[in-house]
């Protein structure tokens, strides 16, 4: 597993699911589909995991169980959603959803990296410029390294730690902690929640159409959402549902579900058009989450740019202030 995920890795993951979706839609079984991918993998790095999948499938395991056996190579969200697709008989739709999901993440990450390129260069230039000038004048390597690496090294350690922690491959306890920390943040928190609700609605609609019981369908869909908070909330409903409450009633009483979701779900349940309602909820929250995600990737780099520009301006002002003070001292001494 890579320490950091790149746009290329997202693209290859999207291509992996795209090929599986096409093969599944053509009626090709998973064993044969994996055999074909081994002959033509999305990348050479996929050969090892694909060969492991071959052996697990040959031993009689389901595709989702085989993926889970690969450990951190497969995000928990992927496994949960594919498990829901297997139970609903709609694996091709799930593969297509995952393909689109990873392709969009690759595009957004490329855009962020492109927009951040100049601010990052400007930041490094501003930090290194004046220590470099001082080194030219004095030849003091120690001072130069302290004033450059002393800033860059801790900053990069923190940055890599945050990126690594934010990846979806961490355990559920860590993901739950991260979700609690991000939930109060404007835009970011609501973006994560909207995308989780979109995945839940999509998985729930597929499972109910496949004839899965309402309790099991809700629990599987909540696991597929990728949100530990939603999953824990739904698991706590089991006894209430067994005692006769309807899902609409428990959704309405839960703080984890927005009022829009609860009202539309109740309308669909009462009208007998729950399938159509869940499809609408999926589209609504998918569009809402994607819109906010694009806002984050657009505004974020601009905020970094202006912060770096202000830092450079302060450094320039500080340099010339010091220069003028030294000049004034020299003139007074003369």
Whether 171 shows a pLDDT value over 60: the answer reads no
Whether 4 shows a pLDDT value over 70: the answer reads no
Whether 8 shows a pLDDT value over 90: the answer reads no
Whether 169 shows a pLDDT value over 60: the answer reads no
Whether 12 shows a pLDDT value over 50: the answer reads yes
pLDDT in tens, 76-130: 778 877 887 888 787 888 898 889 888 888 887 888 788 777 777 877 887 787 7
**Of 248 and 104, the one with more pLDDT:** 248
**What is the largest distance, in Å, between two alpha-carbon atoms of the chain?**
94
The predicted pLDDT at position 2 comes to: 47
pLDDT in tens, 28-46: 999 999 999 999 888 889 9
Quote the percentage of the chain above a pLDDT of 70: 92
188-209 vs 214-224: helix crossing angle, rounded to 10: 140
Q: Which of 139-148, 168-177, 272-281 has the lowest mean pLDDT?
A: 168-177
Q: How far apart are CA 329 and CA 323, in angstroms?
A: 10
Whether 289 shows a pLDDT value over 90: the answer reads no
The predicted pLDDT at position 3 comes to: 45
The predicted pLDDT at position 319 comes to: 67
| Ramachandran sector of residue 257 (left: φ over 0; alpha: ψ -120 to 50; beta: rest) | beta
**Of 4 and 263, the one with more pLDDT:** 263
Domains of the chain, CATH where assigned: 7-98 (1.20.81.30)
Whether 234 shows a pLDDT value over 60: the answer reads yes
Q: How far apart are the first and last CA of the chain?
A: 66
The predicted pLDDT at position 247 comes to: 92
Average pLDDT over residues 17-21: 94
Total residue count of the chain as it appears in this document = 334
**pLDDT tier for residue 16 given thresholds of 50, 70 and 90:** very high
Best-predicted range by mean pLDDT (79-83, 285-289, 320-324): 285-289
CA atoms within 13 A on the CB side of 55: 7
Q: How far is CA 148 from CA 121, 125, 160, in A?
A: 14, 10, 18
Q: How many CB atoms lie within 10 A of CB 201?
A: 25
pLDDT in tens, 53-72: 999 999 999 999 999 999 87
Q: Which of 119-133, 206-220, 253-267 has the lowest mean pLDDT?
A: 119-133
Q: How far apart are CA 170 and CA 31, in angstroms?
A: 28
Whether 251 shows a pLDDT value over 90: the answer reads yes
Whether 151 shows a pLDDT value over 50: the answer reads yes
Whether 311 shows a pLDDT value over 80: the answer reads no
Q: What is the mean pLDDT of the chain?
A: 84
């Amino acid at each position: 597993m890579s320490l950091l995920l790149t746009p290329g890795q997202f693209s290859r993951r999207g291509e992996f699911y795209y090929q599986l979706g096409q093969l599944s839609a053509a009626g090709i079984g998973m064993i044969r589909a994996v055999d074909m991918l081994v002959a033509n993998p999305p990348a050479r790095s996929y050969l090892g995991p694909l060969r492991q999948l071959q052996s697990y499938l040959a031993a009689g395991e389901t595709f989702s169980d085989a993926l889970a056996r690969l450990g951190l190579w497969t995000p928990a969200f992927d496994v949960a959603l594919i498990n829901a697709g297997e139970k609903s008989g709609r694996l091709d739709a799930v593969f297509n959803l995952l393909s689109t999901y990873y392709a969009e993440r690759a595009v957004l990450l490329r855009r962020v990296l492109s927009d951040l390129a100049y601010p990052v260069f400007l930041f490094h230039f501003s930090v290194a410029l004046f220590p470099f000038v001082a080194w030219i004048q004095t030849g003091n390597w120690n001072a130069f390294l302290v004033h450059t690496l002393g800033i860059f090294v801790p900053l990069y350690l923190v940055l890599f730690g945050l990126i690594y922690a934010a990846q979806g491959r961490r355990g559920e306890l860590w993901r739950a902690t991260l979700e609690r920390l991000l939930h109060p943040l404007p835009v970011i928190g609501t973006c994560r929640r909207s995308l989780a609700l979109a995945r839940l609605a999509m998985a729930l609609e597929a499972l109910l159409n496949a004839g899965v019981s309402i309790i099991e369908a809700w629990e599987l869909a909540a696991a597929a959402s990728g949100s530990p908070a939603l999953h824990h909330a739904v698991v706590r409903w089991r006894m209430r549902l067994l005692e006769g409450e309807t899902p609409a009633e428990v959704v309405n009483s839960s703080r984890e579900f927005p009022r829009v979701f609860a009202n539309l779900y109740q309308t669909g349940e009462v009208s007998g058009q729950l399938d159509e309602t869940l499809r609408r909820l999926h589209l609504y929250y998918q569009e809402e989450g994607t819109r906010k995600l694009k806002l984050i990737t657009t505004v974020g780099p601009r905020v970094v740019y202006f912060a770096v520009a202000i830092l450079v301006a302060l450094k320039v002002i500080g340099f010339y202030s010091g220069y003028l003070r030294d000049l004034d001292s020299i003139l007074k001494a003369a």
